[in-house]
């Protein structure tokens, strides 16, 4: 009897850390079915595109990739193509209408069904399955991580906020927190597997636990930080993303007290204009934002602060933008993710067409904002010259493979010369900072603080 050949899969990710972690879960589910990872789409039997719909060009990226896969499938009719994630949740029938060669479309709420849907498609033809709500919290799904030393841990899905520019509540649903015991158990298992750095994921981690318990103890995010900090083997804890309106003194206290929780706070501003913040439904003013930021810096020594800022939100005037520049100057960010507003269909802001800002004006504002942010980033980075920092090695530098790259506890990218254990991903090394630039630091190796065991074979998951 002939032995059937093992099928191979390839997962490509479009989007944020939440999407990337979902892709790890998809890879884990397919591997659990006995499938093996392929290095690329051309050598795969199953290609899964895990999509995002936050950015304006998300659609273009997806359909461009599907166009390439159409010719590949014409040559190999048995190739299965699946599209999942946020764009699939939002566009539903549109994907199969525009790309009829797609075999399976599934959304954010039924990720665990991907293997069953692929098998059903082999028997019945194209399958579309989108559900509106999670049947249960997807806490027990297997995952295939890209690296040995770091892992994402989902603590919450969905969002209860109503930011007018954001489509996340539409495609991810309302907030659902995961039980703290389940989270800690997963972190313990990761630590036993050699993971030393974890990143807690949620759309608004500061509201973690609000939906847990009724008339009894409800854990807060600060409680979760302390519980995870106590897990043996975990050297670093990060999280993303918090909402400024929900940043509590208890969270600041936990960050200061917990040895493993890193001194880095990503606190999205979005705008420095109170009028625009109100139009965005952000729930805070610039003054309140800066007060929370001041509390965090006062409570957490050597805190690095990063942010998100949108330029050209509908109705933004020159005065509104100047207010944003003023807040950015005051905040003195370590770095910022800055974006020109792009309307996402289905969001309230997409209908504010009368207030759309001229693209040339928005581009000029972006340039001016970037100058402000990079000036503060450079100053803060140059202030670190001469300091000895602990760096978690990520691997060779992308621009100079002869040097290693890694990140400090403040999440600052550092490039340095290293060989042997000092260059191995997952190693912790001490380096002396020799130069600061707006987006990175240069350093010289001082010592190896901790070297991990020999690396394990990992399943690759591509990102777009």
CATH code, domain with 301: 3.30.750.200
pLDDT tens, position by position, 81-94: 999 988 888 887 88
**Chain segment 390-405, per-residue pLDDT in tens:** 999 999 998 888 899 9
- In this structure, are 198 and 280 located in the same domain? no
Residues 129-182 pLDDT 10s: 888 766 555 555 666 777 889 999 999 988 999 999 998 888 888 898 999 999
* Dihedral of the alpha carbons of 117, 119, 121, 127, in degrees to the nearest 10: -10
CA angle, corner 449, sides to 443 and 451, nearest 5? 110
Mean of pLDDT over the chain: 90
Closest by CA position to 257, among listed 232, 278, 290, 229: 229
Residue 460 lies in a domain: no
d(CA 189, CA 231): 10
* CA distances in angstroms from 208 to 154, 184, 197, 237, listed in the order given: 11, 14, 20, 16
Element (H, E) at 29: helix 17-32
Non-local CB neighbours of 359 within 8 Å, separated by 6+ positions: 312, 340
pLDDT band at 109 (very low <50, low <70, confident <90, very high): confident
What's 29's domain CATH number? 3.40.50.12160
CA–CA distances in Å: residue 433 to residues 42, 413, 445, 448? 43, 11, 9, 15
Query: Is 464 among the domain residues?
Result: no
Cis peptide before 188 (omega within 30 of 0): no
Q: Is the dihedral of CA 428, 221, 331, 306 positive or negative?
A: positive
Confidence of residue 2 (pLDDT cuts 50, 70, 90): very low
Quick count: other Cβ atoms within 10 Å of Cβ 184? 16
pLDDT tens digits for range 195-252: 999 999 998 999 999 888 765 678 999 999 999 999 999 999 999 989 999 999 999 9
| Distance, CA of 97 to CA of 92 (rounded, Å) | 9
Q: Which tokens go with 381? A: 């980075």
- pLDDT category of residue 382 using cuts at 50, 70 and 90: very high
| Domain shared by 312 and 422, yes or no | no
Round to whole Å and give the CA distance between 460 and 456.
12
Verify that 158 and 240 share a domain, yes or no: yes
Q: Are residues 271 and 257 in the same domain?
A: no
Percentage of the chain modeled with pLDDT above 90: 69
pLDDT at 4 over 60: no
Q: Are residues 373 and 398 in the same domain?
A: no
CATH of the domain at 439: 2.40.50.140
Same domain, 65 and 172: no
At residue 285, does pLDDT exceed 90? yes
Same domain, 51 and 155: no
Q: Which of 225, 247, 262 is the last residue before a domain boundary?
A: 262
Choose the final residue of a domain: 227, 262, 297. Answer: 262
pLDDT of residue 1: 35
Q: Could you please report the per-residue DSSP string of 86-153?
A: HHHHHHTHHHHHH-TT--EEE-SS-GGGHHHHHHHHHHHS-EEE--SS-SS---S-----S-SSEEEE
Establish if 459 belongs to a structural domain.
no
Region 87-112: mean pLDDT is 87
Averaged over 375-399, what is the pLDDT?
Answer: 96
Same domain? For 119 and 157 the reply is: no
In a domain, 463, yes or no: no
**393 plus 318 within the same structural domain:** no
Asked if 404 and 416 touch (Cβ cutoff 8 Å), the reply is yes
Among the listed residues 312, 309, 311, the one whose alpha carbon sits nearest the alpha carbon of residue 328: 309
* pLDDT the model gives residue 18: 79
Domain-terminating residue out of 343, 358, 383: 383
Q: Is 79 contained in some domain? A: yes
What pLDDT, in 10s, does the model give residues 27-76? 889 988 999 999 999 999 999 999 887 666 677 788 889 999 999 999 99
| Residue 455 covered by a domain | no
Q: Where are the alpha helices (DSSP H) in 230-317?
A: 249-257, 274-280, 286-299
Residues 440, 335: Cα–Cα separation, whole Å: 10
Mark whether 258 and 271 lie in a shared domain.
Answer: no
Please identify which residue in the block is written with the tokens 């999440």: 411
* Count of structural domains within the chain: 4
Q: Which residues pair with 48 in a beta bridge?
A: 11, 82
Q: Are residues 229 and 271 in the same domain?
A: no
Q: Are residues 369 and 278 in the same domain?
A: yes
Residue among 277, 220, 272 nearest 246 (CA): 220
Q: Nearest Cα to 127, choosing from 147, 141, 106, 110?
A: 106
- pLDDT tier for residue 331 given thresholds of 50, 70 and 90: very high
Domain range holding 125?
A: 8-133
Q: How far apart are CA 199 and CA 153, in angstroms?
A: 6
Q: Give me the pLDDT at residue 5, please.
A: 78
Is 2 a domain residue?
Answer: no
- Would 456 be classed as within a structural domain? no
């Amino acid at each position: 009897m002939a032995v059937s050949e093992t099928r191979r899969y390839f997962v490509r990710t479009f989007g944020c850390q939440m999407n990337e972690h979902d892709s790890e879960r998809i890879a884990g589910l397919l591997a659990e079915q006995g499938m093996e990872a392929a290095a690329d789409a051309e050598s795969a039997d199953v290609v899964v595109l895990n999509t995002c719909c936050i950015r304006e060009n998300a659609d273009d990226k997806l359909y461009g990739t599907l166009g390439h896969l159409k010719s590949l499938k014409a040559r190999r009719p048995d190739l299965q193509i699946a599209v999942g994630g946020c764009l699939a949740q939002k566009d539903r029938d549109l994907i199969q209408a525009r790309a009829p060669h797609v075999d399976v479309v599934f959304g954010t709420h039924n990720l665990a069904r991907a293997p069953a849907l692929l098998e059903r498609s082999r028997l019945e033809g194209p399958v579309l399955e989108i559900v509106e709500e999670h049947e249960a919290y997807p806490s027990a799904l297997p995952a295939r991580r890209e690296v040995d030393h770091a892992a994402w841990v989902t603590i919450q899905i969905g969002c209860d906020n109503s930011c007018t520019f954001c489509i996340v509540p539409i495609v991810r649903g309302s907030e659902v927190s995961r039980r703290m015991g389940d989270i800690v158990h997963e972190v313990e298992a990761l630590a036993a597997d050699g993971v030393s750095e974890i990143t807690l994921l949620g759309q608004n981690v500061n509201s973690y636990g609000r939906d847990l318990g009724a008339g009894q103890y409800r854990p807060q995010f600060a409680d979760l930080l302390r519980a995870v900090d106590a897990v043996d083997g975990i050297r670093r804890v990060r999280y993303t993303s918090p909402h400024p309106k929900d940043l509590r003194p208890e969270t600041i206290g936990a960050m200061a007290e917990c040895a493993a929780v890193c001194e880095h706070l990503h606190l999205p501003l979005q705008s420095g204009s109170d009028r625009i913040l109100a139009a965005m439904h952000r729930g805070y003013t610039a003054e309140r934002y800066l007060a929370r930021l001041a509390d965090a810096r006062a409570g957490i020594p050597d805190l690095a602060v990063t942010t998100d800022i949108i330029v050209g939100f509908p109705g933004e005037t020159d005065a509104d933008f100047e207010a944003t520049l003023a807040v950015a100057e005051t905040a003195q960010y370590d770095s910022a993710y800055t974006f020109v507003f792009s309307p996402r269909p289905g969001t309230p802001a997409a209908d504010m067409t009368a207030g759309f800002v001229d693209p040339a004006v928005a581009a000029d504002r972006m340039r001016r904002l970037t100058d402000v942010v990079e000036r503060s980033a450079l100053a803060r980075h140059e202030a670190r010259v001469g300091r000895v920092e602990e760096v978690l090695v990520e691997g060779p530098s992308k621009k100079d493979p002869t040097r290693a790259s890694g990140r400090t506890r403040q999440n600052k990218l550092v490039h340095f010369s290293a060989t042997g254990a000092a260059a191995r991903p997952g190693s912790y090394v001490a380096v002396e900072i020799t130069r600061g630039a707006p987006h990175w630091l240069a350093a010289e190796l001082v010592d190896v603080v901790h070297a991990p065991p020999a690396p394990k074979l990992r399943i690759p998951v591509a990102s777009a």
